[in-house]
Amino acid sequence: MIKNKTLEIVDIDVKLLIDKLTTAFADEWMAAYQYWLGAKLARGPLRSEIAAELMVHYEEEISHATLLADRILQLGGDLRMFPHDWKRFGSCDYDAITNVQMLSVLQENLKGEQCAIAFYNDLLKMVQGKDFATQAIIMKILSDEIEHEQDIIQFLEDISA
Ligand SMILES: [Fe+2]
Ligand SMILES: [Fe+2]
């Protein structure tokens, strides 16, 4: 049996950790899709400017999914999942876009970001000091989600001014 130091240094229930990271992984795909669709469909004030920023967020959510996927694999988890499983595995309630008005699209994005911030903040408390590799990944993702929230709040303020 080959020694696996990666797992040996994790001072936390690895199965529970993989479950949490899998939840986040599903949420990231839904967030990415929500941004991508919003960038294509949203109509209203500052459309070009906001759509460009939503595409930046889309790419960052995909990069979060990649960070989480790599960590899940390092921990011995399984990534096999279909898009129809995202909602079941995820923890944030990503709604389909029914209203393409900019205000509504941004409000849905804000809801998603605030759910993500709460989730990652809790996860960070769970892993801090117990799994430094996961901690570093979650800190990076959390700071991105905070930036996303602030971008959306600024756009909401701009279009409501
Ligand atoms: Fe994300
Ligand atoms: Fe985000």
Which residue is it, tokens 């936390």?
Answer: 12
Q: For position 64, what pLDDT does the model report?
A: 98
Q: Which residues surround ligand 1, an ion (CB under 5 A)?
A: 28, 61, 64
Look at residues 91, 84, 78 and name the one whose alpha carbon lies nearest to residue 122: 91
CATH class of residue range 5-160: mainly alpha
According to DSSP, the residues that pair with 85 across neighbouring strands are none
Find the 130 Cα to ligand 2 centroid distance in Å.
25
Q: Give the number of whichever ligand sits closest to the CA of residue 64.
A: 1
Q: Ligand 2 centre from 85 Cα, in Å?
A: 20
pTM: 0.96
Q: Which ligand has the nearest atom to the CA of 35?
A: 2
pLDDT bucket at 161, cuts 50 / 70 / 90? confident
Q: What is the pLDDT of residues 102-140, one digit of tens each?
A: 999 999 999 999 999 999 999 999 999 999 999 999 999
